[in-house]
Amino acid sequence: MEPAVLTTDRLLLRTVGAADTAAVYAAAQDPDIQRWTTIPSPYLYEHARGFVEQQVPEGWADGSMCTFGVFLPHGEPAGMLGVTMRSPGAGEIGFWAVKEHRGNGYVAEAAGAAARWAFTHLGVDRLEWRAEVGNGASRAVAERAGFTVEGTLRSALSNNGVRRDCWVGSLLPSDLGLASAAPYLPARA
């Protein structure tokens, strides 16, 4: 699969490459990113290089993970977002925001664009979001992007070798007024 480029009113979402290594490394030094995501901690320059030069291109090539850098119009990075395919028709979204750009709605806007793209180009019928219980910023972004928080999963995340509870939410094509690739029969209340 070739990397996609998405645009919104305020953002450019594109793959990252070698030229973005220093920016990814700098952003990932933020203690909040290291605390709430599963990136290595401490985060070394070699981690950033491996991410942009190996993990991102391989994920796009085999369709397992579609990673977008979230950029402002003048090229400044505002965050990172990925859609990982978990099973046929099901993906999981993950994201983080550069510290200086938090609170501007950029990542929620990017998540909405990436979700619409996943539904229309990847055949995803269910996009999940997960975050460790307590990560209120991630939950707020997911809810602003239209995700429905469905509950708490016990011991469902591993972060630096520690099992942790997580919130889980979902977004369906119908939540955005789109058709599903496969029929959906919701349970009766």
Residues 63-74: tens digit of each pLDDT: 999 999 999 999
CA atoms within 13 A on the CB side of 18: 0
Closest CA to 68 of 116, 128, 134, 124: 116
Q: Is the pLDDT of residue 14 over 90?
A: yes
- Beta bridge partners, 134, equal none
**pLDDT attached to residue 91:** 98
Maximum CA extent, the chain: 52
Do residues 16 and 66 lie in contact, with contact meaning Cβ atoms separated by under 8 Å? no
Length of the chain: 189
Which residues have a Cβ under 8 Å from the Cβ of 88 and sit 6 or more positions away? none
pTM of the model: 0.94
Looking at the predicted structure, is the pLDDT value of residue 99 above 90?
A: yes
Chain segment 25-59, per-residue pLDDT in tens: 999 999 999 999 999 999 999 999 999 999 999 99
Number of Cα atoms under 13 Å in the Cβ half of residue 41? 16
pLDDT of residue 129 exceeding 90, the answer is: yes
